[in-house]
Amino acid sequence: MSVDNLLEPSSIKSDLKLPEQIIETDVSNFRENFNSSHFMFSHNLAGYPLFEIPRLVELANTMLSQGKTNKIQSYISKVPVKQKWN
């Protein structure tokens, strides 16, 4: 099974389409900073079925069952969500 097949398991509707525009940011800011520096942007993927917890669990289980453990990273921390970086 290829990585592309991991994105389309039988449990996902075949008519599922990504929104036409996903990232919302200033175009010049994006061009200046993409792949070189951090920058703020917003997206509209919240609530999108591929990013819901059951689907992410299914994806992780599929990858684990295929022995692709080098592709999965997990971080556990007791830091409160509201904690700031500084």
- 9-44 pLDDT tens trace: 555 555 677 778 888 888 898 899 999 998 888 988
The residue segments making up the domain with residue 46 are 3-69
Residue 78 lies in a domain: no
First to last CA, the chain: 44
Residue 82 lies in a domain: no
How much of the chain exceeds pLDDT 70, in percent? 79
- Comparing 65 with 73, the larger pLDDT belongs to 65
Residue 77 lies in a domain: no
* Distinct helix (H) and strand (E) counts, the chain: 3, 2
Residue 24 lies in a domain: yes
Distance CA 23, CA 33 (A): 14
Domain count, the chain: 1
Residue 81 lies in a domain: no
